[in-house]
Amino acid sequence: MANERFFPQEIIRRKRDGKSLTDSEIGAIVSAITDESMVDSQIAAFAMAVLFQGMNPRECSSFSLAMRDSGNVLNWNRAHLHGPVIDKHSSGGVGDCVSLMLAPMLAACGAHVPMISGRGLGHSGGTLDKLSSIPGYCSGIETERFQAIVENVGCAIVGQSKSLAPADGRMYAVRDISATVESVPLITASILSKKLAAGIDALVMDVKTGNGAFAATNEMAVDLANSIVSVASVAGVSAVSLVTDMDEPLAPCAGNALEILEVVDYLVGERRDPRLHAVVLALGSELLVLSGIVPGKQDAINKLEQILADGSAVERFSEMIASLGGPNDLIERPARYLDKAPVMLPVLAKEEGIVSAIDARELGMVVVALGGGRVVTNDDIDTSVGLTNLVRIGDEVVSGKEVAVIHARTKSDAEAASDKVLESLMIGSKIPESAKLIRGIYRGAT
């Protein structure tokens, strides 16, 4: 039979009209994204059609596996490894720097962590953008070097590349600027294409829910949590998803270099924000048990506390940074290396009361507007800008009290951001019911 000519628009049309796509149609779309025969506008239209019409579980698995197979799948020489190959990923939020802590912590517990991460997406920060604030750090390296670092140091955080899940590289960039992020099948395929391409044995997924998450409702978060676990299982990877709160930023800061500083302080033990620490321990302990490194949850928590206390986690972090081209004394002298914004402006409360809600998405957009995120795909970002000293839900404020500090390029940027920060804080008269930080754990069918 003669080869039929492929028209992406016909497949986009079928999805737009609510039809389910065959495996071969999905395969054709992913190949065309990868070989660039589909243009960005067609990718955006396809993403929007999926966002509105969804995908059934078979389509979602087929799409995720085709995206994984758009590049190579890493093969690990088990004889060179001393532990399982595992990973953690977040669906994205504000002030979420957990990956940067957990990768070295898991490595210090005896695992190998080949973490393929993404840039910022929409209002949410990206691990790669945070790492780009470290001078010399190179997240775009050859596969052989990536594997060698993961074997020897225990962890490496890099970006997807021409050889690893390249289809996601294009989709991710187009989704970022076309309002097509908030879709369970698109997020599942995006995340799992990268994770499965890394040849992992086990994965813990942090599905964020709340106003600063892509899954704004608990229902969507639970769908995403289950979708990730079930597609991973089709691919032979054990996975567990935790649904966690994103109704306020996770760390008390947001911004690229500012979050690297938070990570350094956390690993060194200078300062550990309790919310951040609770999420790190919850995700890390699930993964240590799932991958068989320790038998039970309490052993896992003890182990994570121990590698923080004895300095082995921070040592792994430092080795990873140096192996990927960064300075070998970042931990000792972060201020020497991380860019500092020229303007620092405290935001002062204009009323009195208790912080009853925070619009975390708005705070994420404040960071983007300050220059810490992108408006179009090729925008350069300013890694120095962002927010620190953020108040928490339940904190008391009085007029004139600092509720955040803005780090900006100019005074006028800072003043504009200050108004937005104040608008994002809801001040009430009573202490709000505290939202559960860990909302649920999803392990799939047993």
Options 61, 62, 70, 91; binder of ligand URA; rule CB under 6 A: 91
Burial environment of residue 157 by CB neighbours within 10 A (0 to 12, 13 to 18, 19 or more): buried
**Which strand ranges, in their side-by-side order, compose the sheet holding 386-388?**
343-348, 402-408, 386-388
Q: Under the criterion CB under 6 A, does residue 190 sit at the interface with ligand URA? A: yes
Residue with Cβ nearer ligand URA (191 or 421): 191
Options 84, 93, 114, 118; binder of ligand URA; rule CB under 6 A: 118
Instruction: Mark the segment that binds ligand URA (CB under 6 A) among 99-107, 186-194, 265-273, 388-396.
Output: 186-194
CA distance readout (Å), 396 to 81, 173, 355, 428, 430: 50, 40, 6, 10, 10
With CB under 6 A as the rule, give the number of residues binding ligand URA: 9
Least Cα distance to 149 among 379, 324, 343, 350 occurs for 324
Residue with Cβ nearer ligand URA (159 or 326): 159
- The single residue of 34, 64, 91, 127 carrying the catalytic annotation is 127
112 is catalytic: no
- The single residue of 62, 70, 90, 139 carrying the catalytic annotation is 90
194 is catalytic: yes
Q: Under the criterion CB under 6 A, does residue 187 sit at the interface with ligand URA? A: yes
163 is catalytic: no
Residue with Cβ nearer ligand URA (8 or 93): 93
- Residues 225/418, Cβ–Cβ less than 8 Å: no
- The single residue of 87, 168, 176, 206 carrying the catalytic annotation is 87
Residue with Cβ nearer ligand URA (87 or 247): 87
436 is catalytic: no
- The single residue of 190, 285, 318, 384 carrying the catalytic annotation is 190
Q: CB 187 → ligand URA: shortest distance, Å?
A: 4
Q: Under the criterion CB under 6 A, does residue 121 sit at the interface with ligand URA? A: yes
Q: Under the criterion CB under 6 A, does residue 191 sit at the interface with ligand URA? A: yes
Q: CB 153 → ligand URA: shortest distance, Å?
A: 23
Instruction: Mark the segment that binds ligand URA (CB under 6 A) among 148-156, 185-193, 251-259, 397-405.
Output: 185-193
**Residue 150 identity (one-letter amino acid):** V
Least Cα distance to 307 among 323, 295, 293, 321 occurs for 293
Least Cα distance to 388 among 273, 280, 282 occurs for 273
Cα distance between residue 446 and residue 286, in whole Å: 16
Locate the DSSP E strands across 268-384: 343-348, 353-358
Taking only Cα atoms into account, the Rg of the chain, rounded to an integer number of angstroms, comes to: 21
- Residues 227/442, Cβ–Cβ less than 8 Å: no
- Residues 63/185, Cβ–Cβ less than 8 Å: yes
Both tokens of 165, joined, read 């899940």
Q: Which residues contact residue 443 at a Cβ distance below 8 angstroms, ignoring those fewer than 6 apart?
A: 229, 240
Residue with Cβ nearer ligand URA (183 or 424): 183
Burial environment of residue 435 by CB neighbours within 10 A (0 to 12, 13 to 18, 19 or more): middle
Q: CB 351 → ligand URA: shortest distance, Å?
A: 35
- The single residue of 15, 68, 89, 275 carrying the catalytic annotation is 89
Q: CB 173 → ligand URA: shortest distance, Å?
A: 11
127 is catalytic: yes
Cα distance between residue 116 and residue 128, in whole Å: 9
407 is catalytic: no
Q: Under the criterion CB under 6 A, does residue 92 sit at the interface with ligand URA? A: yes
Cα distance between residue 233 and residue 239, in whole Å: 7
Least Cα distance to 74 among 157, 138, 167, 146 occurs for 146
Q: CB 224 → ligand URA: shortest distance, Å?
A: 9
Q: CB 214 → ligand URA: shortest distance, Å?
A: 6
- Residues 403/259, Cβ–Cβ less than 8 Å: no
Instruction: Mark the segment that binds ligand URA (CB under 6 A) among 55-63, 179-187, 237-245, 272-280.
Output: 179-187
Residue with Cβ nearer ligand URA (195 or 275): 195
88 is catalytic: yes
**Which strand ranges, in their side-by-side order, compose the sheet holding 425-428?**
396-397, 353-358, 425-428
Q: Is 408 helix (H, G, I), strand (E, B) or coil?
A: strand
Residue with Cβ nearer ligand URA (179 or 309): 179
Residue closest to ligand URA (Cβ): 190
Place of tokens 């669906």: 91
Q: CB 195 → ligand URA: shortest distance, Å?
A: 9
Residue with Cβ nearer ligand URA (54 or 83): 54
Residue with Cβ nearer ligand URA (34 or 91): 91
- Residues 240/198, Cβ–Cβ less than 8 Å: no
Binding site for ligand URA (CB under 6 A): 91-92, 118, 121, 181, 186-187, 190-191
Q: Which positions are annotated as active-site residues?
A: 87-90, 127, 175, 190, 194-195
